[in-house]
A and B are shown apart, each in its own frame.
Chain A
Amino acid sequence: MIGVTLGGGVGRFEGEYGLVIDALESVRMVTATGTLVEASRTCNPDLFWAIRGAGANFGIITSATYKVHRYMNNGNVYLVDFTFPFNLSSSYSKVAESLQDNLNPKLAGNAFIIYNAATNQVYHSLVLMRFHCEC
């Protein structure tokens, strides 16, 4: 999780809720001199800023604290999963491109290229997910 965080932490909710790095509140880390320090917005803020975007080379993080949030709708989500045969790549790419600036941030998507070993077929897979609808 910490490795993911320092690399940004992309995810299906980032359109509305940001990256995992945006949830990071503070860390404890060992710096190059072997000193254990805390970094947060109020403690060593320059170091905290540096690790949130400039990579993992400022030291070894031994502990990380994240803000979490209470979920609603009993944590239920609405999930729509599309697959497209690979020979439709051109059409699929045009559709994906058209969504690029138009996708509602409450409706987040992940796009994969997957291989089905059982059928020996390659597919485009588009997974769209939303916690709940306001309609």
Chain B
Amino acid sequence: MKLAASYNISFLATGARHSYSTTIGDLHNGLAIDMSRFKSIEIDQAAETVTVGPGVVMNDILDPLYEAGFILRKQSSSLPYI
């Protein structure tokens, strides 16, 4: 980032490269900083949190979270029913 800034090169960070925005469409001859290898996933059972790197996609966390007993969204009801 320091190098790009010092040479006035526009850049952006990319993960799975699924999205599009008008900002991205305006970027030309810039630097794409590929974060896709940062695939770390850490689940903290006590704090009930998950920490991920920028290369992690939603599909990567679903099974590890489920196996640890968690979902990303909170359920509010206490009456189970199938």
Contact = CB atoms under 8 A, between A and B. Distances in A.
Contact of B76 (A16, A20, A65, A78): A16
A94 interface: no
A106 interface: yes
B81 A134 contact: yes
B23 A131 contact: no
Contact of B72 (A20, A34, A56): A20
A66 B49 contact: yes
Chain B interface size, as a band, is: 35 or more
Given A2-B15, A34-B1, A134-B79, A67 B48 contact: yes
B80 A132 contact: yes
A4 B33 contact: no
Contact of B15 (A3, A76, A135): A3
A30 B48 CA distance: 25
Main secondary structure of the interface of B (DSSP, over half): loop
Task: Determine the interface band of chain A, counting residues with CB < 8 A from chain B.
Answer: 35 or more
B1 A32 contact: yes
Interface in A40-64: 55-57, 59-64
A63 B51 contact: yes
A51 B46 CA distance: 27
Contacts of A34: 1-2, 5
Interface string A67-79: 1111111111010
7 contacts: A3-B54, A18-B73, A23-B72, A56-B12, A59-B1, A68-B43, A134-B77
Interface of A: 1-4, 7, 11, 13, 16-18, 20, 23, 25, 30, 32-34, 55-57, 59-76, 78, 106, 131-135
